[in-house]
Amino acid sequence: MEDMVRDNIGSLVYPLFIKKGIGVKEEIASMPGQYRFSADTLIDEAGFVYERGIDKLLLFEIADIKDEYGSSAYRQNSVIPYAVAELKKNFPDIIVMTDICLCAYTSHGHCGILKDCAQVSIDNEKTLDALSKMALLHAAAGADYVAPSAMAKQQVSAIRHALDNNGYRNTKIMGYSAKFSSQFYGPFRGAAKSAPRFGDRRGYQLSPDDSFTALKEVEEDIREGADIIMVKPALGYLDIIRQVRDRFPHTLAAYNVSGEYAMVKAGSALGYWDERKMVYEIIASIKRSGADLIITYHARDIVKWLFEKEAQYEKEILFTK
């Protein structure tokens, strides 16, 4: 099992939370072992995992300024573009992906701009415009992939057009293609302070019992130009990952989300299982279902464990010689 995990380090994508400031490294209460970093501490963290073989990061901002329009997501000199540029300066070969969504930046916590602030009716046109502006800023800073997760209609094609028309043909798109409305996002919303203030996301995320629409959404993202398609969450949706794998040849990512991570951590703290073996079993399950990439908060622990093992092994060899 360990060998299987080692062979698949290249499939791991490590998600990271970024906020404004210097020297920030705050642990996220709902996600033990995960932190909010500022751009400088992010570089240290990226270096730690990169030296151990992880070369793909997915960045989220924890925004402290929020308004109705989520405008801090797409103003100049914002946090994510700065962090992307710093990462690329220090590690030109790291593949940097950025989340494109408004929920961390809106005062109401919804993923798009609302038509009417008293109810959840997303203004799709305005939302696409905002998401496109955000994607352009990230692309200009050097992001390799932008990953729209707002679930606005036609978000992939709108962003593709914006990128192409502004000289960013090489910037790729990872679509959150089949994104289910899920309780498993709970700890993330705690981390990003992005839980909706009213209503819920059922209007723009998939119902857990609807595999038919999930497959349609994947097909739609491919048609709109997504380079990577994604199923999210992973563990309760391995059947969806498998069905997507069997139907489409595109690079497929599975998002092992915050709630899945938090359950493992909670059970480990209670002594219900061996955390390392549990994580390896989870990675094996997601791989078996057919995913090419696994976005997981466990990424850091995995490379840490593998390295410790190797160091120990080398020591043993030295002793027996």
**Residue 311 carries which side chain, given as an amino acid letter?**
A
Count the site residues for ligand PBG by CB under 6 A: 12
Window 124-153: residues binding ligand PBG (CB under 6 A): 149
Binding mask 270-299 for ligand PBG (x = CB under 6 A): ------------------------------
Options 111, 158, 282, 302; binder of ligand PBG; rule CB under 6 A = 111
Residues 6+ apart with CB under 8 A from 1: 277, 280, 281, 284
Residue (103 or 244) nearer to ligand PBG, CB: 103
From the CB of 191, what's the least distance to ligand PBG, in Å?
A: 8
* Residue 179 appears among annotated catalytic residues: yes
Structure tokens at 297: 């908060």
Contacts 24+ apart (CB under 8 A), 67-70: 67/105, 67/106, 67/107, 68/106, 68/107, 68/108, 68/113, 68/114, 68/117, 69/106, 69/113, 69/126, 69/130, 70/102, 70/103, 70/105, 70/106, 70/113, 70/130
Catalytic residue of the set 172, 232, 265, 287 = 232
Q: How far is the CB of 197 from ligand PBG (least distance, A)?
A: 13
Site string for ligand PBG, 162-201 (x = CB under 6 A): -----------------------x--xx----x------x
In the complex, what is the shortest distance from the CB of residue 143 to ligand PBG, in angstroms, rounded to a whole number?
A: 16
Residue with tokens 């790291």: 94
Q: Please report how close the Cβ of residue 225 comes to ligand PBG at its closest, in angstroms.
A: 20
Among 16, 97, 101, 234, binds ligand PBG (CB under 6 A): 101
Catalytic residue flag (residue 232): yes
Q: Which is nearer to ligand PBG, 71 or 181 (CB)?
A: 181
The residue among 66 and 201 lying less far from ligand PBG, judged by its C-beta, is 201
Asked if 103 touches ligand PBG (CB under 6 A), the answer is: yes
Q: Which amino acid is at 228?
A: I
| Range in contact with ligand PBG (rule: CB under 6 A) among 97-105, 132-140, 163-171, 273-281 | 97-105
179, 193, 315, 321: the catalytic one is: 179
Q: Which is nearer to ligand PBG, 188 or 280 (CB)?
A: 188
Catalytic residues, by residue number, are 179, 232
Which residues contribute to the site for ligand PBG (CB under 6 A)? Answer: 99, 101, 103, 111, 149, 185, 188-189, 194, 201, 257-258
